[in-house]
Structure 1
C-alpha cells in the first residue's frame, strides 16, 4: 500500500512541477523587456527546455549506448567489435536478427493487404462508420493489452480438462489433442506476428479508406465509360492512385515492427525462440548482465530503423508537393 502511495505522490509532484515550470516560463516571457530582443527571448525560453530534455533524454543515452556497445559486459574495458561479432555469429544473437527479419517480412505485407481489402469492401457501405470502429478498435488498445487478450486465446490445458483458451477449445471439439501453442517454435513466432497484424490492420484500413475516397470521381467515371470491370478498376485506377499512401502505411508499420517489444515480452518473454532485437536488447542490458551485447543490439536496431524513417519522410514530402 505504501508503494502505491509513494508512486501516487511522485505522480502528483511531477504534474505540479510541470505546471509550475510552464507558468514560470509564461511569466518570464510575458514580462521580458521589449528592448532586450523579446522575440528571440521567447524562442529561447519556449524551445530551450524541450531541447534540453531531448538532449538528456535521447541524445546522451544514444551516445552512451553506442560507447557501451564497444565495451565488455560491465561497461569498463574496450573490446572493439566483439559485441557486434556476437550479434552476427552467436546463435542467440542470430536468433534475434532472424526473428526480426521474419516479422518485417510478413507483418507489413499482410497488414497492408488485409487493410486494403477491408477498405475496398467497407467503402460505400451503409454502416461504414460502425464497421470501421470495430476493425480499428484493436489499434486503440495498447500492445500489452492486445497480447494479454491473445494469451487467453492460446491458453493451454491438458485435453482432459475444460479449456479456457478459444483455440484449444476448438481443437478439443474437433477431437484432437490440445497444444501449447506459444511453446512450439517456429510456429509460436507466427502466432505473435498474427497479434501484431490484428492490431495494425485497423490503422491500414482507415488510412487507405481515406485515400480511396480521395480518388477523383471524374477518373472513376472515365474508367467506367471505358468499360473496365471491378478487377481492372482496382489494378489500373485505384491502386496506382493510392500507391503513395500504400507506401507510407507500409513503411509506418515496418518501423513499428522493427521496434516490436511489448507483444513478445508479454506473451512469451522472448523465450522458446521468439526473441526479437528489441527484446534481446532489454534482456541483455537489464537482466542478462551483458550491457555490451544489449547495447550492440540497440545500435543495430537504430541502424535498421533509420533508413526506413528517412524513406518515409521523403515519401511524405513528395506527397505534400504532389498535393500542391
Structure 2
C-alpha cells in the first residue's frame, strides 16, 4: 500500500505540476506582453512576440528533459569510452581494440543478431495476420484488446509471468511450469528450458514477441483499414481469392507501414535488457549487448571506459535505423 500511495502521489504531483506550469507560464507571458494596451502598434508587437514565445513554453520542458536524459548521457558516454576504468586516464582507442577481441562481446553480438532476425519478423508477421483476421470477425475488437494487453505490462512483469511458464523443478518434484506440465502430460521429460544453450535465446525472444505483436497489430490494422475498398472489390471481381488479395493487393499497399513497424521493433530489440536480466541474468550464453554493458559498467567494481564503449556501439547500431524510420514515417505522411 505504501508503494501504491507513493506512485499515486507522484502521478498527482506530476499532473498538477504540469497544469500549474502551463497555466502559470501563459499567464505570465500575457502579463509581460499584454495585447490590450493604449497603443495599437505596441499591442500588435506584443501579440506577435507572445505568439513567437508561446510554443517554446510547451517545448521547453521536453527539450530540457531530452537534453538532460538523452543528449548529455550520449555525449558523456562517447567521452568516457576514451578513458580507463576510473575515467581518469585517456587511453584513446584501447577500449575499442579490446572490444573487438573480447569473446563476451562476440557472444553478445551473435545473440543480438539472433534477436534481430527473429523478433521483428515474427512480431510483424503475427501482428499483420491478426490484424487481417480480426477485421473479419464480429468479436475482432475484443480479440485485439486481449492481444494488445501485454503492451501494458513492463518487460520485467512479462518476464516474471513467463518464468512461471518455463519454471523447472528438480527430478521427482511437482512441476509448476506450464510448459513442463504440458511436456509431462505428453509423457516426455521436463526440461530446464532457459538453461539450454542457443535454444534458450529463442525462449526469451518469445516473451518480446508476445509483447510487441499487439503493437504491430494496432498499427497495421489501421493501415489495412486505409486501403480503398474499390481496390479489394476490383480484385474480387477479377477472381482473386482471399490469400491472393492479402499478399498481392493489401500487403504492397501498406508496405511502408510494415517497414516502419519492423524497424521500430528492431530498435527495441537492440536495446533489450530487462527480459534477459530478469530471466537468466545473461547466463547460459544468453548475454546481449545491453546486459554486457551493464556488467562492465556496474558490476565487479565497474569499468566505466569499457561499459561506455559498449554503450556507444549500441548507439551506433540504433541511430541509423531510427533515422531511416523517421524519414520513412515522414515520407508516408507526406504521401497521404
- Residue matched to 1:30: 30
Is residue 70–residue 83 contact of structure 1 (8 Å, CA) maintained in 2?
A: yes
Is residue 151–residue 212 contact of structure 2 (8 Å, CA) maintained in 1?
A: yes
Q: Which deviations, in whole Å up to 9, do the C-alpha atoms of 1:45-69 show, x marking residues without a partner?
A: 4444443333232222211111111
Change (3 A) 1:8 1:201: closer
Change (3 A) 1:68 1:245: same
Is residue 72–residue 292 contact of structure 1 (8 Å, CA) maintained in 2?
A: yes
Distance 2:220 2:20 in 1: 43
Residue 22 of structure 1, CA deviation? 5.0
Residue 237 of structure 1, CA deviation? 0.7
- Residue matched to 1:301: 314
Distance 1:110 1:125 in 2: 23
Distance 2:8 2:248 in 1: 60
- Residue matched to 1:170: 182
Residue 19 of structure 1, CA deviation? 6.0
- Residue matched to 1:317: 330
Gaps of 5+ in 1: none
- Secondary structure, aligned partner of 1:162: coil
Distance 1:319 1:8 in 2: 39
Gaps of 5+ in 2: 35-41
Q: CA RMSD in A?
A: 2.6
- Residue matched to 1:89: 101
Residue 153 of structure 1, CA deviation? 0.5
TM-score, length basis structure 2: 0.87
- Residue matched to 1:196: 208
- Secondary structure, aligned partner of 1:31: helix
Change (3 A) 1:13 1:236: closer
Distance 1:121 1:4 in 2: 41
Residue 287 of structure 1, CA deviation? 1.8
Change (3 A) 1:156 1:320: same
Give yes or no for the alignment of 1:75 onto 2:87.
Answer: yes
Indicate which of 91, 116, 121 corresponds to 1:104: 116
Distance 1:210 1:45 in 2: 33
Is residue 167–residue 192 contact of structure 2 (8 Å, CA) maintained in 1?
A: yes
Indicate which of 222, 226, 240 corresponds to 2:234: 222
Change (3 A) 1:80 1:219: same
